[in-house]
Amino acid sequence: MTIEGRDYNIYVGKEELSLLPALLLPYKKVMIVTDENVAPLYLEGLKRELNDACEVHSHVICAGERSKCVKVYLEIVNDMLDSNFTRSDAVVALGGGVVGDLAGFVSATYMRGIDYFQIPTSLLAMIDSSIGSKTGIDLERGKNLIGSFYSPKAVFIDTNRLMTLPREQIRAGLGEGVKYACLMGGEAFDMLERGLSDYDDFVRRCVEYKLGVVEGDMREAGLRRLLNLGHTLAHAIEAKKKFEIEHGVAVGMGIYFMAKAANANGELCQSELERVVKLLEKYELLERISEIDVSELFSFLRADKKSYGDGIYAVKLEKIGQCRVEKMSFEQFEDYVRGGCGR
């Protein structure tokens, strides 16, 4: 199945990857960037598929967010220089969000930009990070502090790859999944409630939704902020817990607090609040919710001046399938969220 974006196509399905070799024919060389978890599963197979199209190189990084740093970025760039990659060669990002963001930033900046292709292998990357052209790496002071908006030439999503993922990784992806379900409502929400037997349909809906939003607002000036539902509190939860809670789980918790706040504020009705909470529980996103004291989160937001400057764009969940962005001062946001927790 092909989802046609303005700048590039997204191919969803097992068979679709067979289109990649033809797309790589114009390039002399390709560098596959992947990590040590994904490499044993898919690297050799992908190399075999691409070998007839062009000269195939690979660079395997350590798994995890720590690899999204300047050091590993420069290692990949230097590896490509050693192998005489020119601006008319290409990169393939084979992996989850870390590999996609990092390989995307390498592609955005190597000799001022070379073409790249995304093959996301985690649910989080399939429905979220591989779509929207965001690339970036972390600095000591925080995540994604340098990066750029740079679109891939194509994205290949094969949800069969999810079957090989450990349970925690699927759960982390479903935090973003619940976010999309809340934003879209309707059948997308119902599907998650019923349980996902086949991921393809749900992934396609998320991708189409996200693509529609980001194409209307590439640089995050307005509409794109909707995608931050649950994320403001999630960032604070991650910081408070020193990043030992996965991003997707923190997003689930953030949605929980925003849903409670909306309900207390007379926006989200009781029955819909219950549906949202039940969905978060079903996907095991609230197992550690008792560890989070919401009143301790606001100091993290206030300290993060570079992200929030003079206030917060709160994404309010007014109904399932209907969210709204509202700019608030820190005080307003704190009052709003505390209202939902009765503190």
Catalytic center residues: 112, 134, 176, 210, 220, 224, 228, 231, 235, 247
Residues 216, 307, 324, 331: which binds a copy of itself (CB under 8 A)? Answer: 307
Whole-number Cα distances in Å, 247 to 78, 141, 261: 30, 17, 21
SS3 256: helix
Instruction: Pick one of 52, 62, 64, 139: the residue that binds a copy of itself (CB under 8 A).
Output: 139
- From CA 258, how far away is CA 264, in angstroms rounded? 10
Q: How far is CA 2 from the centre of its chain?
A: 20
Q: Which is nearer to a copy of itself, 166 or 309 (CB)?
A: 309
d(CA 231, CA 306): 16
Q: Which stretch binds a copy of itself (CB under 8 A): 7-15, 110-118, 169-177, 235-243?
A: 110-118
In the set 9, 58, 109, 322, which binds a copy of itself (CB under 8 A)? 109
Contact 98, 246 (CB under 8 A): no
Q: How crowded is the C-beta side of 39, counted as CA atoms within 13 Å? A: 13
Interaction of residue 299 with a copy of itself, rule CB under 8 A: no
State the nearest-atom distance from the C-beta of 111 to a copy of itself, in Å. 6
Contacts of 48 (CB under 8 A, 6+ apart): none
Cα gap 210→198, rounded to integer Å: 20
Residue 135 phi/psi, 5-degree rounding, is -125, 160
Cα separation of 105 and 94, whole Å?
14
Question: Do residues 122 and 169 touch, judged by C-beta distance below 8 A?
Answer: yes
Q: Rounded to whole angstroms, how far apart are CA atoms 230 and 202?
A: 20
Angstrom distance (rounded) from CA 250 to CA 201: 25
Q: How far is the CB of 2 from a copy of itself (least distance, A)?
A: 26
Establish if 111 lies at the interface with a copy of itself (CB under 8 A). yes
* 327 makes contact with a copy of itself (CB under 8 A): no
Residue 264 contacts residue 316 (beta carbons within 8 Å):
no
Length of the chain: 343
State the minimum distance, in angstroms, from the CB of residue 84 to a copy of itself: 4
**Residues numbered 207-226 forming contacts with a copy of itself, rule: CB under 8 A:** 219-220
**Which of 48-56, 82-90, 204-212, 314-322 is the region at the interface with a copy of itself (rule: CB under 8 A)?**
82-90
Task: Give whichever of 9 and 148 is closer to a copy of itself, judged by the CB atom.
Answer: 148
Shortest Å distance, C-beta 210 to a copy of itself:
17
**Among the candidate windows 31-39, 81-89, 117-125, 257-265, which touches a copy of itself by CB under 8 A?**
81-89
Contact flag: residue 306 with a copy of itself (CB under 8 A): yes
Give 58 or 148: the residue with its C-beta nearer to a copy of itself.
Answer: 148
Measured distance CA(182)–CA(321) in Å, rounded: 5
- Of the pair 141, 242, the CB lying nearest a copy of itself is at 141
Q: Which of 124, 202, 129 is nearest to 165 (CA)?
A: 124
Q: Which of residues 18-47 bind a copy of itself (CB under 8 A)?
A: 28
How many residues touch a copy of itself under the rule CB under 8 A: the total is 35
User: Using CB under 8 A, which of the segments 80-88, 224-232, 246-254, 270-278 binds a copy of itself?
Assistant: 80-88
Q: Which stretch binds a copy of itself (CB under 8 A): 156-164, 277-285, 288-296, 306-314?
A: 306-314
Applying CB under 8 A, the residues found at the interface with a copy of itself are 28, 70, 74, 77-78, 81, 84-88, 108-113, 134-136, 139, 141-142, 144-149, 219-220, 305-307, 309
